[in-house]
Amino acid sequence: MVRATTRDERARVYIEHTDAYGVVFYANYFAFASNAAEALGRVAAGGGGGGGGGGANAGGFDFGRAFRCARIEHCKYARAATLGDAIAVRSEVVRADERSATLRQEIVSANDDADETVFLSAEITYAGAGAETDDSVGVGDTAGDETFAAPWEMEDGRCASTAVRMYRGERSAAQRSHVDILRFFERARTDAIGGSDALSALQDDGVVVVVSRLQAYFPRGDGSQSKSSSSVIPVYDVKSTVELKRRGIQVVFHQAMFADDGACVGYGDVTCTCLDAKTMRPMPCPPALVDTFAPFCIA
């Protein structure tokens, strides 16, 4: 039985966190969440920061050491945080061992003069920074050079592909992070829609596409060596297929990112919902966009 370890970590939304719609970019919520997980370890080690107490070493997992995100599950986007919002990340350890820990994390409003608003909730599993993972438990013994297969099969010619040149500047930290991979997923979704111009045209036509649900898995750390020489920028590949649900209101992107050695470094399902820009109510995916998706739509 894991003792429930809880803590609230506060932050402020700056322009660096927002996207073209003026709301927090969907991947950046998980940067806030990772910071909150790190704060568990800092406080337990005697570091600064406000919020509730709690130890870092829950069930044997030490949040004070270097760690990474291994999986994101049961994630729901409820409302969008916007520029200037004060937010709090509420973290509770729900299960843990020496290899990994799963936190139930909620990102909520922290404005003292308003009722609390939930922006996002998810169960996020963190593992040691160099650990390999499998898709059934937090950490497994997956060989470092083994290609980790996504749980759905991509047929040749039935997926959209986006190349990512992995410059050092594409990494938000010393190594590629889950936030980076989710950012590359967004880049691939934009390409699948038809590019930035097509996304702007949708907005001009009164259609807003937002992320409403997400599950993602990150089976590898960044410890493996690139197959490219030091004089060549490694090129990663993000592959995407599309599935339309709820009479076209929901667009589910099945996505996976492959390193230049062929190994899958991240995969997941990103559910997007089409909204009427005036009413912000769900609406069917526009016919022209459905046609664009046809070559790589799996249902």
**Domain end (from 77, 112, 141):** 141
Mean predicted confidence (pLDDT) in 229-250 = 87
pLDDT at 60: 65
**% of the chain residues with pLDDT over 70:** 75
The mean of the pLDDT values for the chain is 81
Say yes or no: 202 and 260 in one domain: yes
Per-residue pLDDT for 74 more than 90?
A: yes
Say yes or no: 150 and 100 in one domain: no
Higher pLDDT, residue 16 or 299: 16
Say yes or no: 168 and 293 in one domain: yes
Q: Scan for tokens 């050079």, then name that residue.
A: 145
Say yes or no: 157 and 291 in one domain: yes
Could you give the maximum distance between any two Cα atoms of the chain, in Å?
57
pLDDT at 279: 92
Higher pLDDT, residue 154 or 262: 262
**Domain end (from 141, 176, 197):** 141
Least confident of 109-123, 190-204, 217-231, 263-277: 217-231
Say yes or no: 126 and 218 in one domain: no
CATH of the domain at 17: 3.10.129.10
CB burial string 54-68: b at 16+ within 10 A, e below: bbbbbbebbbbeebb
Phi, psi of 108 (to 5 degrees): -130, 165
pLDDT at 139: 40
Question: Residue 147: pLDDT band by 50, 70, 90 thresholds?
Answer: very low
Per-residue pLDDT for 280 more than 60?
A: yes
How far apart CA 30 and CA 254 sit, in angstroms, is 19
Say yes or no: 137 and 148 in one domain: no
The H or E element that residue 238 is part of is: strand 235-245
**Domain end (from 141, 167, 194):** 141
Say yes or no: 133 and 168 in one domain: no
How far apart CA 89 and CA 103 sit, in angstroms, is 11
Per-residue pLDDT for 229 more than 60?
A: no
Q: Which domain holds residue 287?
A: 144-299
Per-residue pLDDT for 140 more than 50?
A: no
Higher pLDDT, residue 174 or 219: 219
Question: Residue 135: pLDDT band by 50, 70, 90 thresholds?
Answer: very low
How many separate domains does the chain show?
2
The H or E element that residue 287 is part of is: helix 287-293
Say yes or no: 90 and 149 in one domain: no
Per-residue pLDDT for 192 more than 90?
A: yes
Say yes or no: 198 and 247 in one domain: yes
How far apart CA 37 and CA 64 sit, in angstroms, is 9
How far apart CA 30 and CA 97 sit, in angstroms, is 22
Residue pair 292/198 in contact (Cβ under 8 Å)? The answer is yes
Say yes or no: 48 and 122 in one domain: yes
Higher pLDDT, residue 168 or 146: 168
Per-residue pLDDT for 160 more than 70?
A: yes
Say yes or no: 58 and 151 in one domain: no
> Angle, nearest 10°, between helix axes 196-204 and 178-193?
70
Say yes or no: 168 and 274 in one domain: yes
Per-residue pLDDT for 26 more than 70?
A: yes
pLDDT at 177: 86
Question: Residue 62: pLDDT band by 50, 70, 90 thresholds?
Answer: confident
Nearest to 209 by CA among 284, 107, 159: 284
Mean predicted confidence (pLDDT) in 188-200 = 92
